[in-house]
Structure 1
Amino acid sequence: MTAATDALAAAADAARLAPSVHNTQPWRWVVDGDRMELFAVPERQLTEQDPDGRLMVLSCGAALHHALVALAAAGWKASVTRDGGEPLAVIQAVGHEPADPHDMHRLQLLQVRRTDRRVVTDEPVAPEALEALAAAARRGGARLHVLNRDQVLQLAVMIEHSGEAQRHDAKMQAETAQWAGGSRPDGTGIPAVSLPAETPLTTVAERDFGVAGALAAGGGHDSAANYAILYGEGDERSDWLAAGEALGELWLVATGRGTAVLPLSSPVELDFTRVALRRMLGDVGWPYLVLRLGIADPEHAGPPHTPRLPASAVVSVLPGSGNGAV
């Protein structure tokens, strides 16, 4: 293999760290010489909670973001074609130069990023940090709307209703049980050690996975947390792909600033709550995710990283790759 092929394969490997809905990791990479294609994997789609595959594509967008960060950290320049079809995106390696320490640090931040469902501390997120997160979302191709207090209360009621609807949907409950709890030896899903052992005291309820967790939720109440809507102008697959890239960039910046991010996808999984979120935005955009933003307790270690599929399950290097070397 050529240096470009090696770099693309390594970037696809690093992209396994990307966040995904229920840790489904619904992506596949195909490396061919100096180019790499990103595909969605419907077999790991949440067919009940995400029947249109929007969150599947968003998850793939987060993997795309991580791959590009890894390439930059290795000193590789790349061009990207995104059209939301299949493949969802194509990365072309176009040249190499000495790696920038800043780009290397960005990859390090992604390597320590995690989803933390514990209650956040009473320390508020600084206004300049919220501005930095909004700027990160814009760089990724989306927008961030931080909710005011009245809107947070509306969101709490909305999620309560969506949770109630999902708890009475046997198919949704069965699907959630398939992806949550236990030790997750197959490398996907959310293990018990990443789920709260008791219901956290939060203004906006977290998802009830219906299984016993083993993570200490922490004391207090998340009254200092901010809630925000990640949104954009469009509702096509290409827009959801961009939303995933925006989530990846926002989370990278948040990690660097010590801000914990908890995505809440349940409000966009049901039509009635999705419409309500859109109204919160003044009908100027389409909601992709709700995010809780807060400061985690530095005195206690966060949950371990969720398991990942082996590289062999998500990365394919075509035989003879390298004939189009940079």
Structure 2
Amino acid sequence: MIQFTEPRAARQQRPATRALAKAAVAAGRAPSIFNSQPWRWCIADDVAQLRADRDRQLTTVDPDGRLLTVSCGAALHHARTALAGVGFATHVDRLPDPGDPDLFARIRVVDAGEPQRAAVRLQLAMALRHTDRRPFADVEVPPPALRRLREAAEEQGAHLRILRPEDVVTLAAAAVAAAGTELTDPLYRAELSAWTGRPAGARDGIPPETAAHPEPRPVPLRNLDPGGVPDPATHDVVDRYACYAILYTDTDTPVDWLAAGEALSAVLLTATDERLAASPISDVIEVPAARRLLCDLLDGAGYPMVALRIGVPGDGPLAAAARRTGAEVVDVAT
């Protein structure tokens, strides 16, 4: 349910208000760092405000709020997609109030009409997309699909660099460096434990069933269970046909961080529409030394915001992380 401020208010809302409330709930499916879902929505009449929830900021992993802002940008794009998918045209003001830095965006409904086919497809992809840490199938990613992913990032004001095979070695080195730095930090281990060991019934955090198994990979994924006992069995290398990419922006300001989140959402939804799987790689952004390696890969072209692992999904069930309810994240005024 969505939290309304007066009894029976749900029946009294304008169509735009109801559409915004539904879009805000749908935006809860957006990816976020550690599935922290660090956002709140405040809706009145034909305007929705997207606000940061600083109580959910990862103060060790993300002290400057970069990844919190990227996460909120993904939620913003999800909400825009949900509205476009049912035919609502919107106007968005990003970071509209310098005196209120936690107000990330205002979405105003300006018109209603027939949804476009592309918007409907992305809206459907929202219900299907999940972060996929499973090994990918031994099938190459079609080049036309990668072109669509690059175009999706550009449309949101960011860029997607598909890495060459020789560049993947540097990305792997960045991932190893990030893991080495973070796992020796007791504050990081405590924060990781807090978000991977959520109590029963929690609707946030990273559940164990979504974690990556410790198979050898071209680029190692974050170890979500550093105290676990590794499987002694020998594994073949997986993700041999995975593609890796860096999502980056021209400059490095909160406006860019928000745009990067919108681009991340657009890339992931487009990948889902192309029947591809993906998982963001954020630890290479969290550690300055690792992030500098990504900057080197870009040859000074921009500022890396997140790396991505993309491939044809493998076999087996795909577990999904839970999401908070509308009542927890959406307030609708009357």
TM-score, length-scaled by structure 2: 0.90
Q: Contact conserved, 1:184 with 1:307, CA < 8 A, in 2?
A: no
List alignment gaps of at least 5 residues for structure 1.
321-326
1:203 aligned to 215, 218, 227, which one? 218
Q: CA deviation at 1:301?
A: 2.4
1:71-220 matches, cutoff 5 A:
71-83=83-95, 85-181=101-197, 185-196=201-212, 198-210=213-225, 220=237
* Deviations 1:214-237 (CA, angstroms, capped at 9, x unpaired): xxxx96521111111000111111
Alignment partner for residue 265 of structure 1, among 276, 282, 293? Answer: 282
Relative distance call for 1:181 and 1:124 in structure 2 (3 A) is: farther
2:317 matches 1:301:
yes
Counterpart of 1:239 (choices 256, 259, 283) is: 256
Deviations 1:133-163 (A, max 9, x none): 1111111211011111221111112211210
Q: 1:181 to 1:258 in 2, by over 3 A?
A: farther
Task: Quote the offset at 1:174 in angstroms.
Answer: 0.4
Q: Does 1:315 align with 2:330?
A: yes
Q: 1:98-135, CA deviations, whole angstroms, 9 ceiling, x for partnerless residues?
A: 33444223211111100111111111111111111111
Task: Report the 3-state secondary structure (helix = DSSP H, G, I; strand = E; otherwise coil) of the residue aligned with 1:88.
Answer: strand
User: Partner residue of 1:49?
Assistant: 61
The verdict on how the C-alpha distance between 1:316 and 1:157 changes in structure 2, with shifts beyond 3 A counting, is same
1:22 aligns with 2:34: yes
1:182 Cα deviation after fit: 5.7
Correspondence list, 1:26-37, <5 A = 26-37=38-49
Q: What RMSD over aligned residues (CA atoms) do the two structures have, in Å? A: 1.7
> How far has the Cα of 1:260 moved from its partner?
1.0
1:51-66 mapped onto 2 (5 Å cutoff): 51-66=63-78
Tell me the residue number matched to 2:9: none
Deviations 1:239-260 (A, max 9, x none): 0100000011111110011111
CA shift in 2, pair 1:288/1:58, >3 Å: same
Instruction: Tell me which amino acid in the other structure corresponds to 1:97.
Output: G
CA distance in 1, matches of 2:85, 2:245: 30
Match of 1:289, SS?
strand
Structure-2 change in CA distance of 1:184 and 1:155 (3 Å): farther
| Number of corresponding residues | 312
Residues 40 and 88, structure 1, Cα contact 8 Å, conserved in 2: yes
- In the superposition, the TM-score normalised over structure 1's length comes to 0.92
d(CA) in 2 for partners of 1:262 and 1:82? 26
| Change beyond 3 A, Cα 1:183–1:202 | farther
Kept after mapping to 2: 8 A contact 1:183/1:192: no
Identity of aligned residues (%): 37
Q: Secondary structure at the match of 1:98?
A: coil
Q: Distance in 2 between matches of 1:180 and 1:139?
A: 34
What do residues 189-238 of structure 1 show as CA deviations (whole Å, max 9, x unaligned)? 01111113x3022111000112669xxxx965211111110001111111
Q: How far apart are the structure 1 equivalents of 2:117 and 2:251?
A: 35
**1:160-197 Cα shifts (integer Å, max 9, x gaps):** 1210111100000100010014665221101111113x
Q: Are 2:170 and 2:293, in contact at CA under 8 Å, matched by a contact in 1?
A: no
Greater shift after overlay, 23-32 or 82-91? 82-91
Q: Which residue identity is paired with 2:53?
A: V
- 1:246 and 1:144 mapped to 2: Cα distance? 9
Match of 2:301 in 1: 284
Indicate conservation of the 8 Å contact 1:162/1:270, yes or no: yes
- Note if contact 1:129-1:257 (Cα within 8 Å) is conserved in structure 2: yes
Maintained 8 Å contact 1:232/1:288: yes
**Counterparts of 1:91 and 1:146 in 2: how far apart (Å)?**
32
